[in-house]
Amino acid sequence: MKKKETCLDDLIDNEQLMLLTGEVFDQTKKTFKFKYVAATILIFLGLVGSLNFNTVYAKVSEVFVHIFGQGIERADYFKDYWVLKEPVTFQLENGGEGIIEAAYKNKDEVTVVVTAPDRAVWTSKENKLLIGDKAYESTRFEMGVIYPQAFDGDFDKVNYKIEYGFLYNKEEAEDQEMYLKIANQKIPLEFILPVEMSGMEVDKVQLKGFEMYVMSLSQTNDSVAIAIKPKNQRLEDYAIYLHDPVLIDENGKEYRIDYLSQSRNELKCYEPIEGKFVGFKSGGICYRTKMKGHYNKEDPVTFPKVKIPLPKMNEKVALNKEIEIEGIKILIKEVELTSAGISITYASREQGAILSSIDMHPTQLTFECVGNTLGSNEYRITGDFSAYTGQEIEMDVSEVEMRIKQAVEYHFED
């Protein structure tokens, strides 16, 4: 039987079409920022009256925020941002927990920050939509309870009702959204998560909102992505994107970050060492953190003696022996002895290279590792053939010269 072909949209009946259309055109568009929370904001403004800035814990000019549906954003445009002294939780009807920790103000608009971190609340085992209209129908919370410290307004007189919301599992990297119902008006709530990296200072203002572990770092052409994990295990992992990050030393001198390694809970930077690196800066924000250790060229370094067996004349011997000098691993792949000299083929961890042949006499030895796992840095290991016994070559490494780059590690406090 010949198969039929029909456009998908022709197979959708009216009932479905109405439902789908209603979902898009009949709801407030979920758009970032303040455009679509204007209604909320105006109501808040009306209720809040004047805000007492002194009662809030921190007010920062810039902060990273995680905006559901948008990802991590720099909140440069948030002129005022408040983090509550104590996050206030509220119980959802189905047993879940909502948390309100902060609010922000932009121009004449104020909105609240609500997070609903308990995934179990939001997702079902099948990763299907769990929260429908009914799940939130009667969930109420008192804003007055939520904001006892932060605002002097009349929140306590107002009931806020979460009418309904859609929340999804993060595995599908889906946006989350929720609506508040205020005085019969359905208002979308934006979920915003202020992000703080543990142990860091933001323009010398310590944020206490969220504590995060830095988990890993990766670099793209123009930005550095930092994966962070909140200390609160229930929260999801996030990523921060820093554009054009630079290192700064304790004197405020800036260095461009050439490379950041991807490693758990640490930030490795490779730069000329001209001072102690104590943080990095992104945009107008200076991040400082305690450094647990770093490469210090003043430290005495004991270089190992490298011994390589010498093959017979016109013989090539496969060695596959790894030597490690100052953390730089070099795989000596093979050695060949010819009348022209000794040829050593070696490879750094990622990229092989052939050492130019050297003569039989004690001479300077040079390894140049380019494009190894430490990034694009070049390492020059220099030394001498201190001994040539006829059976093996002994190389005295006199210097490990990381002339172009040096490694610095930043460990973020646990």
Partner 1 sequence: MDIGMQLDEQMEIIDETIYAHYYKTAEYVIRNILRGIGSNEDIEDCVHETLEEVLMNREKFDVARGSIKTYVCVIARSKALYARKKLVKHQTVPLEDDLVLVYDDELEVKEAVKHILKQLNANERKLFTLRFLYYMPIEEVSKTLGLSRGNVDVKLSRLRKKLVKLFNTFGIDVREGR
Applying CB under 8 A, does 12 fall inside the site for partner 1?
Answer: yes
Q: Closest approach of Cβ 129 to partner 1, in Å?
A: 6
**DSSP label of 67:** E
Collapsed DSSP state (helix, strand, coil) of residue 227: strand
Applying CB under 8 A, does 17 fall inside the site for partner 1?
Answer: yes
Stretch that binds partner 1, among 12-20, 82-90, 346-354, 356-364 (CB under 8 A): 12-20
Q: Which is nearer to partner 1, 4 or 204 (CB)?
A: 4
CA dist 146 and 101 (Å) reads 9
User: Alpha carbon of 78 to those of 58, 202, 355: distances in Å?
Assistant: 13, 15, 56
Count of residues binding partner 1 (CB under 8 A)?
39
CA dist 405 and 380 (Å) reads 11
CA dist 278 and 200 (Å) reads 10
Q: Which is nearer to partner 1, 170 or 307 (CB)?
A: 170
Q: Which of 118, 175, 211, 413 binds partner 1 (CB under 8 A)?
A: 175
CA dist 256 and 212 (Å) reads 24
Cα torsion 280, 281, 285, 288 to 10°: value is: 20
CA dist 293 and 138 (Å) reads 54
Q: Closest approach of Cβ 65 to partner 1, in Å?
A: 15
Applying CB under 8 A, does 22 fall inside the site for partner 1?
Answer: yes
Collapsed DSSP state (helix, strand, coil) of residue 57: coil
Which parts of 82-141 interact with partner 1 (CB under 8 A)?
128-129
Which parts of 176-195 interact with partner 1 (CB under 8 A)?
177
Q: Closest approach of Cβ 132 to partner 1, in Å?
A: 10
Which parts of 28-57 interact with partner 1 (CB under 8 A)?
29-32, 36
Applying CB under 8 A, does 25 fall inside the site for partner 1?
Answer: yes
Are residues 374 and 270 in contact, defined by beta-carbon separation less than 8 angstroms?
A: yes
**Measured distance between the N- and C-terminal CA atoms of the chain, rounded to whole angstroms:** 66
Q: Which of 108, 172, 299, 414 binds partner 1 (CB under 8 A)?
A: 172
Applying CB under 8 A, does 236 fall inside the site for partner 1?
Answer: no
Q: Closest approach of Cβ 298 to partner 1, in Å?
A: 47
Applying CB under 8 A, does 171 fall inside the site for partner 1?
Answer: no
Collapsed DSSP state (helix, strand, coil) of residue 130: coil
Interface contacts to partner 1, rule CB under 8 A: 1, 3-9, 11-26, 29-32, 36, 69-70, 128-129, 166, 168, 172, 174-175, 177
